[in-house]
Amino acid sequence: MMCCATNGGWSAMAASQGISLTALQNRVYGRKGQEITVSRAMAMQAISGTTYFAEAVAHESGGLFIKLPTVGDLSAEDIQEQFIEMLEKAGEFAAEWRRATADDEVCKREKRQLGHLATDLCVIFRRRLHQVTRLEGCCAVGS
Protein backbone atom coordinates (compact mmCIF):
# COMPACT_ATOMS: atom_id res chain seq x y z
CA MET A 1 0.00 0.00 0.00
CA MET A 2 2.91 2.35 0.68
CA CYS A 3 4.27 1.69 -2.81
CA CYS A 4 0.92 2.45 -4.40
CA ALA A 5 0.57 5.63 -2.31
CA THR A 6 3.92 6.91 -3.56
CA ASN A 7 3.90 9.33 -6.50
CA GLY A 8 5.28 7.13 -9.28
CA GLY A 9 4.20 3.90 -7.58
CA TRP A 10 6.37 0.83 -7.15
CA SER A 11 9.08 2.01 -9.52
CA ALA A 12 9.53 5.31 -7.67
CA MET A 13 9.61 3.52 -4.31
CA ALA A 14 12.26 1.09 -5.57
CA ALA A 15 14.36 3.96 -6.92
CA SER A 16 14.05 5.84 -3.62
CA GLN A 17 15.35 2.76 -1.84
CA GLY A 18 18.23 2.32 -4.27
CA ILE A 19 17.08 -1.13 -5.36
CA SER A 20 15.46 -2.59 -8.46
CA LEU A 21 11.71 -3.02 -8.81
CA THR A 22 12.18 -6.81 -8.71
CA ALA A 23 14.29 -6.58 -5.55
CA LEU A 24 11.61 -4.47 -3.87
CA GLN A 25 8.84 -6.86 -4.91
CA ASN A 26 10.88 -9.85 -3.67
CA ARG A 27 11.25 -8.21 -0.26
CA VAL A 28 7.64 -7.07 -0.01
CA TYR A 29 6.23 -10.46 -1.00
CA GLY A 30 8.82 -12.44 0.99
CA ARG A 31 10.18 -14.35 -1.96
CA LYS A 32 13.10 -16.69 -1.21
CA GLY A 33 13.15 -15.62 2.43
CA GLN A 34 13.68 -11.94 1.67
CA GLU A 35 11.95 -9.35 3.79
CA ILE A 36 11.64 -5.65 4.44
CA THR A 37 13.66 -4.42 7.42
CA VAL A 38 12.09 -2.13 9.98
CA SER A 39 14.36 0.74 8.95
CA ARG A 40 13.44 0.25 5.28
CA ALA A 41 9.74 0.07 6.15
CA MET A 42 10.06 3.31 8.14
CA ALA A 43 11.77 4.97 5.17
CA MET A 44 9.07 3.69 2.83
CA GLN A 45 6.41 5.07 5.16
CA ALA A 46 8.08 8.50 5.15
CA ILE A 47 8.44 8.50 1.37
CA SER A 48 4.81 7.45 0.84
CA GLY A 49 3.51 10.03 3.32
CA THR A 50 1.36 7.37 4.98
CA THR A 51 1.15 5.71 8.38
CA TYR A 52 0.52 2.20 7.05
CA PHE A 53 3.58 0.65 8.69
CA ALA A 54 2.81 2.20 12.09
CA GLU A 55 -0.81 1.08 11.80
CA ALA A 56 0.26 -2.49 10.98
CA VAL A 57 2.66 -2.64 13.92
CA ALA A 58 0.01 -1.29 16.29
CA HIS A 59 -2.58 -3.77 14.96
CA GLU A 60 -0.21 -6.74 15.25
CA SER A 61 0.57 -5.64 18.81
CA GLY A 62 -3.11 -5.56 19.72
CA GLY A 63 -3.22 -1.78 19.75
CA LEU A 64 -4.38 1.20 17.80
CA PHE A 65 -2.27 3.77 16.01
CA ILE A 66 -3.50 7.31 16.49
CA LYS A 67 -1.89 10.00 14.37
CA LEU A 68 -1.66 13.05 16.57
CA PRO A 69 -2.48 16.43 15.06
CA THR A 70 -0.04 19.27 14.83
CA VAL A 71 -0.80 22.01 17.26
CA GLY A 72 -1.31 25.32 15.55
CA ASP A 73 -3.13 28.34 16.79
CA LEU A 74 -6.15 27.05 18.67
CA SER A 75 -8.70 29.58 19.78
CA ALA A 76 -11.00 29.16 22.75
CA GLU A 77 -13.82 28.57 20.23
CA ASP A 78 -11.84 25.76 18.58
CA ILE A 79 -11.25 24.06 21.92
CA GLN A 80 -14.90 24.43 22.89
CA GLU A 81 -16.06 22.97 19.55
CA GLN A 82 -13.71 20.02 19.91
CA PHE A 83 -14.90 19.42 23.48
CA ILE A 84 -18.52 19.38 22.27
CA GLU A 85 -17.49 16.90 19.53
CA MET A 86 -16.10 14.60 22.24
CA LEU A 87 -19.31 14.82 24.25
CA GLU A 88 -21.43 14.10 21.17
CA LYS A 89 -19.34 11.02 20.35
CA ALA A 90 -19.60 9.82 23.96
CA GLY A 91 -23.37 10.29 23.80
CA GLU A 92 -23.52 8.36 20.53
CA PHE A 93 -21.57 5.51 22.14
CA ALA A 94 -23.83 5.50 25.22
CA ALA A 95 -26.99 5.41 23.08
CA GLU A 96 -25.62 2.54 20.98
CA TRP A 97 -24.61 0.70 24.17
CA ARG A 98 -28.18 0.98 25.48
CA ARG A 99 -29.62 -0.29 22.19
CA ALA A 100 -27.13 -3.15 21.95
CA THR A 101 -27.60 -4.35 25.53
CA ALA A 102 -31.37 -3.81 25.78
CA ASP A 103 -32.04 -7.49 25.01
CA ASP A 104 -29.15 -8.70 27.24
CA GLU A 105 -27.34 -9.99 24.16
CA VAL A 106 -24.83 -8.22 21.91
CA CYS A 107 -24.79 -9.62 18.38
CA LYS A 108 -21.82 -9.43 15.98
CA ARG A 109 -23.17 -6.35 14.21
CA GLU A 110 -23.75 -4.55 17.50
CA LYS A 111 -20.30 -5.52 18.77
CA ARG A 112 -18.71 -4.24 15.56
CA GLN A 113 -20.64 -0.94 15.79
CA LEU A 114 -19.68 -0.47 19.44
CA GLY A 115 -16.06 -1.20 18.52
CA HIS A 116 -16.08 1.44 15.78
CA LEU A 117 -17.65 4.02 18.08
CA ALA A 118 -15.22 3.21 20.90
CA THR A 119 -12.25 3.56 18.55
CA ASP A 120 -13.55 6.89 17.24
CA LEU A 121 -14.06 8.12 20.80
CA CYS A 122 -10.57 7.01 21.84
CA VAL A 123 -9.01 8.77 18.85
CA ILE A 124 -10.91 12.00 19.50
CA PHE A 125 -10.01 12.04 23.21
CA ARG A 126 -6.33 11.32 22.55
CA ARG A 127 -6.04 13.97 19.83
CA ARG A 128 -7.75 16.62 21.96
CA LEU A 129 -5.58 15.80 24.97
CA HIS A 130 -2.49 16.09 22.77
CA GLN A 131 -3.61 19.48 21.48
CA VAL A 132 -4.63 20.94 24.81
CA THR A 133 -1.48 19.80 26.63
CA ARG A 134 0.66 21.34 23.88
CA LEU A 135 -0.92 24.78 24.16
CA GLU A 136 1.50 27.36 25.48
CA GLY A 137 1.08 27.91 29.19
CA CYS A 138 -1.32 24.97 29.54
CA CYS A 139 0.66 22.88 31.94
CA ALA A 140 3.59 23.63 34.19
CA VAL A 141 4.69 19.98 34.39
CA GLY A 142 5.69 18.01 31.31
CA SER A 143 5.01 20.68 28.72
Vertex 140, ends 138 and 143: CA angle to 5°?
70
CA proximity to 6, closest of 43, 34, 38, 36: 43
Q: Give yes or no for residue 141 having a pLDDT over 50.
A: no
Q: For residue 96, give the amino acid letter.
A: E
Q: DSSP secondary-structure letter at 55?
A: H
Q: Is residue 2 exposed (0-12), middle (13-18) or buried (19+ Cβ within 10 Å)? A: buried
What is the distance between the alpha carbons of residues 42 and 44, in angstroms, rounded to a whole number?
Answer: 5
**Over the stretch 100-135, which tens digit does the pLDDT of each residue have?**
999 999 999 999 999 999 998 988 888 888 877 766
Give CB contacts under 8 A, 24+ apart, made by 65-73: 66/122, 66/123, 66/126, 66/127, 68/126, 68/127, 68/130, 69/127, 69/130, 69/131, 71/130, 71/131, 71/134, 71/135
**Over the stretch 33-88, which tens digit does the pLDDT of each residue have?**
999 999 999 999 999 999 999 999 999 999 989 888 776 666 767 778 888 888 99
Q: Give yes or no for residue 140 having a pLDDT over 50.
A: no
The mean pLDDT of 22-28, rounded to a whole number, is 95
